[in-house]
Structure 1
Amino acid sequence: MEGNEAQAWGNDGASRAPSPVDAAGDGITVLVVDDERSNVESLQKIFVREGMRVLVAYDAKQALEQVRSHRVTVMLTDLMMPGTTGLELLRAVKQVSPEIEVVLMTAYGSVEAAVSAMREGAYDFVEKPLKRLTIVKSVRKAAEKQKLVLENRSLKNEIKRLTTREIVGSSPTLRRVIDVATQAAPSMATVLVLGESGTGKELLARYIHDRSARAKRPFVAVNCAAIPETILESELFGHERGAFTGATGKKEGRFAKAAGGTLFLDEIGELSPQVQVKLLRVLQEGEFEPLGGDTEKADVRIVAATNRDLLAEVSAGRFREDLYYRLNVIAITAPPLRARREDIALLVDHFLGLYAAKNGKARLLVSRGALDKLLDYHWPGNVRELENVVERAVVLSRSDTLTEQDLPDAIAHAAPPTPTALTFPIGTPLEEIELRVIKETLRHTKGDKSVAAQLLGISTRTIYRKFDGVPEGPESHG
């Protein structure tokens, strides 16, 4: 910028008082970068009048220092500066702080360079001689764009936080399952997830995908039981136009959509014999044929799941034996909730937070009576049923505490479960077995350590030592 401020700002540079809205500045911080001090000073005065916070720099080095030490909304920089140019500064700033919007000041002869800079991430460019209204408008619009981008990112993160499922629990039963899934994840081996409905089989599949080399590629889930048999083949493998009546165009199947990633086939026991044959070919040859199309490579990792006994299905002739063994490379069984009761309190706490946030309500506390009822219930619907119960309580509760009255009648009035025998896999550490036996006995005695000790033939001191950190000492069985 040359000459006095009036010349530099063209015909609309007359001073004006900022409006109340302008004076607020909307929290905008603008960084002005130019090697001409008079230009910087003129711009600084104008933006201050607009109620904005102004930072200044006279070269690229100073500008980067300002960016690293302050939260900058918009950087306004001259394009042609000695040493590091405005374009080079743009690239450097985007590396340090990608959310900063950049507006370039340029002379008539460098408009082409400014347009090129916009392809590299600049928001706008303004031509010299600069006009006050034009430069202020450009900076404000750049700030509005940044605000929208940040709000959109925040909203996406919040949606992801609310919708992303996570495996909650620390019970030994669950830990063993997670250990196997963690070991299997980095491999390309096909995984078969077994378990009752509502145990979180898809959650395990996503856990495996997220820890694999394919984590950045798609995770595509298909519920084989939810898609009519007549169109399942087309849904999985796709079809070409005219492949069958009603095929008016080409359709990409789930195998193609999952390319490079993971395809999760839920309820795989529901596949028809025809689709079983085509799936077997994918597993054997690594390729598939869309209906009416040519052979394509299948670059997917398959994780399948079922709540059926597939071996029984094989014996009954409803499931191919060769397909079963192709799928059953690594088998993982998602444990039912009744086998991991230690996790119920953690799950309740997790779902309370999740549904309080989703419904815009304060987080509920849980009464001791309600928690006992939840612990005693047999949970035929597993974790999914527990989640539904907690969501219902969050929505319908009229106080700040989840009580027995907030629970469905089937749970609130359920009789305590009859004690059953405990089973342990061969190789379970003795210490873990001992703790489980004591815990189950205490649950049966409603926490009465004296009665539990009598049932187990040990001293109450042993129970206290195991759970309350009481130092070991002489024991008595009297």
Structure 2
Amino acid sequence: MHLACDALDDARFDADLLGSEAPGPRGTRQAGQLERAQRGVLFLDRVDALTPAMQARLSAIFEAGEFRPAGAGAPRPMDVQLLASTSADPARLAEGPFDARLFYRLSGTVLPVPSLAERREDIPALYRHFLLAACARLDRPAPAMTGPVKARLSGHGWPGNLPELRGFAESQAIGVTPFDAQADGAAPGLSELVASYESELIRDALRLAGGNATAAMARLQLPRKTFYDKLARHGIKPTDFRR
């Protein structure tokens, strides 16, 4: 289960995490995230956005190993694994006001995730995933991958990482193209679009060839010198695509 910590406030924390159960013959109730995550994993997205009070509350719940929904007569045992993400340096969380007990519970294994700018070869597949998910949710057909969209995917810096890419994919799902004159200052010119599209085609060929430069050259029907000149121009390394 997924809990967006940056969308919570102290008033909503217990309701979202613990749920509620009203007494009565029909027992109207709302399951919280801990109940939904039983025998599974609760993912705390942006855990550093929790207030100190919420951090302490979460730590106390997990130390007790049980939780009590609002209106419930007795606490319930808990069997939930915790995963968390943070945009902050995990080492600095321990030095700041972050709850120490919660930090040590979460920091047993730390996996750094490179930014999208550092793993550009993943961007088209991630975009496609977000696009198809948005189209399924909206019951709309998936739009074709146009040249400007490919240029945006390969040429943009994506400082907002996955949330920004997801938002872009969702805008394409509803037919909006907000990228032509916004965050990057101005719409890209023809030469920039062509260069970005060429770069993405070369990356696609290397990805399909598993980083084999000779196979990628054959797929693109390019002479060796031309191919390596383009690699240098676009800053592409075949070794980054080897499986």
TM over 0.5, shorter chain: yes
| 2:29 pairs with 1:223 | no
TM-superposed CA distance for 1:235, in Å, is: 3.5
| 2:86 pairs with 1:306 | yes
Q: What CA RMSD, in Å, does the superposition of the two structures yield over aligned residues?
A: 4.4
Where in structure 2 are there 5+ consecutive unaligned residues? 193-209, 214-225
| 2:181 pairs with 1:409 | yes
- Residues 52-95 of structure 1 deviation map (CA, whole Å, 9 limit, x = unaligned): xxxxxxxxxxxxxxxxxxxxxxxxxxxxxxxxxxxxxxxxxxxx
Selected match of 2:54 from 275, 278, 282 = 275
The answer as to whether partners of 1:283 and 1:326 remain within 8 angstroms in 2 is no
TM-superposed CA distance for 1:327, in Å, is: 1.1
Residue identity opposite 1:342 in structure 2: E
SS in 1 for 2:85: strand
* Cα distance in 1, alignment partners of residues 51 and 67 from structure 2: 17
* Cα distance in 2, alignment partners of residues 350 and 239 from structure 1: 34
* Cα distance in 2, alignment partners of residues 379 and 366 from structure 1: 19
* Cα distance in 2, alignment partners of residues 277 and 345 from structure 1: 40
- CA separation of 1:364 and 1:297: change in aligned 2, threshold 3 A: same
TM-superposed CA distance for 1:325, in Å, is: 0.9
- CA separation of 1:330 and 1:359: change in aligned 2, threshold 3 A: same
- CA separation of 1:371 and 1:314: change in aligned 2, threshold 3 A: same
- Residues 26-65 of structure 1 deviation map (CA, whole Å, 9 limit, x = unaligned): xxxxxxxxxxxxxxxxxxxxxxxxxxxxxxxxxxxxxxxx
Selected match of 1:389 from 162, 168, 171 = 168
2:95 corresponds in structure 1 to 315
SS in 2 for 1:396: coil
TM-superposed CA distance for 1:291, in Å, is: 6.2
Selected match of 2:77 from 292, 297, 302 = 297
Aligned ranges 1:147-162 → 2 under 5 Å = none
Selected match of 2:35 from 233, 256, 261 = 256
2:204 corresponds in structure 1 to none
SS in 2 for 1:315: coil
1:11 corresponds in structure 2 to none
1:380 corresponds in structure 2 to 159
TM-superposed CA distance for 1:373, in Å, is: 3.8
SS in 1 for 2:42: strand
TM-superposed CA distance for 1:375, in Å, is: 0.8
Name whichever of 302-311 and 290-299 sits farther off: 290-299
Higher relative contact order structure (alpha carbons within 8 Å, sequence separation ≥ 6):
2
- CA separation of 1:240 and 1:372: change in aligned 2, threshold 3 A: closer
Residue identity opposite 2:4 in structure 1: N
The answer as to whether partners of 1:281 and 1:288 remain within 8 angstroms in 2 is no
Where in structure 1 are there 5+ consecutive unaligned residues? 1-219, 243-248, 398-404, 417-431, 436-446, 457-462, 468-478
Residue identity opposite 1:413 in structure 2: A
1:339 corresponds in structure 2 to 118
Residue identity opposite 2:180 in structure 1: P
Q: TM-score, normalised on structure 1?
A: 0.34
- CA separation of 1:228 and 1:376: change in aligned 2, threshold 3 A: same
* Cα distance in 1, alignment partners of residues 34 and 232 from structure 2: 58
User: Percent same amino acid among aligned pairs?
Assistant: 28
- CA separation of 1:229 and 1:311: change in aligned 2, threshold 3 A: farther
* Cα distance in 2, alignment partners of residues 221 and 323 from structure 1: 18
TM-superposed CA distance for 1:253, in Å, is: 4.0
* Cα distance in 2, alignment partners of residues 289 and 226 from structure 1: 22
SS in 2 for 1:301: strand
TM-superposed CA distance for 1:278, in Å, is: 3.5
The answer as to whether partners of 2:42 and 2:83 remain within 8 angstroms in 1 is yes
The answer as to whether partners of 1:348 and 1:390 remain within 8 angstroms in 2 is yes
1:47 corresponds in structure 2 to none
Selected match of 1:366 from 138, 146, 164 = 146
The answer as to whether partners of 2:44 and 2:82 remain within 8 angstroms in 1 is yes
The answer as to whether partners of 1:269 and 1:310 remain within 8 angstroms in 2 is no
* Cα distance in 1, alignment partners of residues 20 and 169 from structure 2: 43
Residue identity opposite 1:232 in structure 2: F
Count how many residue pairs are aligned between Structure 1 and Structure 2: 199
Aligned ranges 1:228-243 → 2 under 5 Å = 228-238=9-19
* Cα distance in 1, alignment partners of residues 20 and 142 from structure 2: 50
The answer as to whether partners of 1:222 and 1:266 remain within 8 angstroms in 2 is yes
